[in-house]
Amino acid sequence: MNDQLQHLISRYFSRKISHKEYFHLKKALGGASDKELSEIFSEQWSRFETSKRHNIPEFARISRQIGLDRETEVSQPTPKWYAAALKIAAMLLLPLFISLSAYFYFKSKAGDAFFNQEYTVVMHNGDRGEVILPDGSKVYLNSATTISYAPDFGKKTRTITLNGEAMLQVAKNKSKPFLVETRTMTVRVLGTTFNVRARNNDSTSETSLIEGAVNITTKESHPRTLSLKPNQKAVVNLYEGKASVEKTDLYAETAWKRGELIFRSSSFDEIAKELEIFYGVEISLTGTGNRKEHFSGTFQEDNLGAALRILQQHYHFSYSIVGEKATITFY
């Protein structure tokens, strides 16, 4: 069983698998015991140096996700073959992007539409990384960011979907424009460098142009198109029906890529939200003390405790950090 699964899995991820082989893979996964799946997972992981694995901050979290340790997570019921396939996908593809602290997984669009599946790259809170797309374009991903693209990316079109924040260095190709799709806008370029911040739960989305030129089309009942020049940014707020072009501070806009957080007259609630994403923690705010005052300053990529000690010079609060949770009490 193991040899058959290993062979089919290898063909699956090299995208050489036939429809008949894919059917057999599903059948084999459905009939494999937990012990057999565990042996396959362990064999794949043993191919990578132990020292490398232990140097990855994401290792413990992803080990839990793919079932390599004894912890158990409860999730919604999933067909057995599909759940197993996702586990194998996470395990096999992780080493290819191990320096990025990212992993790929396959997301099925509908039933057995295997050959139409898309690639998704996920950065969790506290993680940042770089991905090189098939056309040579580079995408630098900030924390809490997800990008997706089709397996035939670059053949006819160059389109990615973004939820989060990323800086892109797009390879030039005049015949194939590069599109970034977000919830609120479409960014269209031929070859340039720009930063997009578009989280699905934020009220505004921003695109800042570093070099080259971009066009932004809003996604509303009456779409608007905005053109940017270097050192400009487009700000789109669909809730208020506003879209504008403003001058921007590129040093501050791209600070996250240098491992910095820069605040310009930010409220503590805004600061706490960014600290959660940047350091990968959950922050709870309690107490009745004043936290309405605004703060300006820069934090280096150090640790949450150092950042909070700086903020204590401006606000009156105490804090405790336990694992990945922090409690801040104002007084």
pLDDT given at position 32: 61
Cα–Cα distance between 225 and 36 in angstroms, integer?
55
Cβ atoms 260, 254 nearer than 8 A: no
Q: Which fold has domain 259-330?
A: Phage tail protein beta-alpha-beta fold (3.55.50)
Handedness of CA 275, 276, 282, 287 (dihedral sign): positive
Average pLDDT, rounded, for the chain: 77
Q: Name the DSSP class of 72.
A: -
CA dist list (Å): 290 to 9, 116, 330: 57, 53, 7
Instruction: Tell me the per-residue pLDDT of 134-148, one tens digit each, with 9 for 90 and over.
Output: 899 999 999 999 999
Q: Using the predicted structure, report yes or no on whether residue 48 has a pLDDT greater than 80.
A: no
pLDDT for 241-278, tens place per residue?
A: 899 999 999 999 999 999 899 999 999 999 999 999 99
Number of H helices, E strands in the chain: 9, 19
As given in the structure block, the two tokens for residue 172 are 């030039």
> pLDDT tens digit string along 76-99?
333 433 344 444 444 444 333 333
Which of 66-75, 116-125, 144-153, 179-188 is predicted most confidently? 179-188
Task: Report how far residue 296's alpha carbon sits from residue 287's, in angstroms, rounded to the nearest whole number.
Answer: 23
- Each residue of 162-207: pLDDT tens digit? 999 999 999 999 899 999 999 999 999 988 999 999 999 888 999 9
Convert the pLDDT of each residue in 266-313 to its tens digit.
Answer: 999 999 999 999 988 999 999 988 888 899 999 886 788 989 999 999
* pLDDT band with cut points at 50, 70 and 90 for residue 110: very low
pLDDT value of residue 238 = 80
Rounded to 10°, the helix 80-93/19-31 angle is: 100
> For residue 330, what pLDDT is reported?
93
Q: Kindly report, residue by residue over 217-231, the tens digit of the pLDDT.
A: 999 888 999 999 999
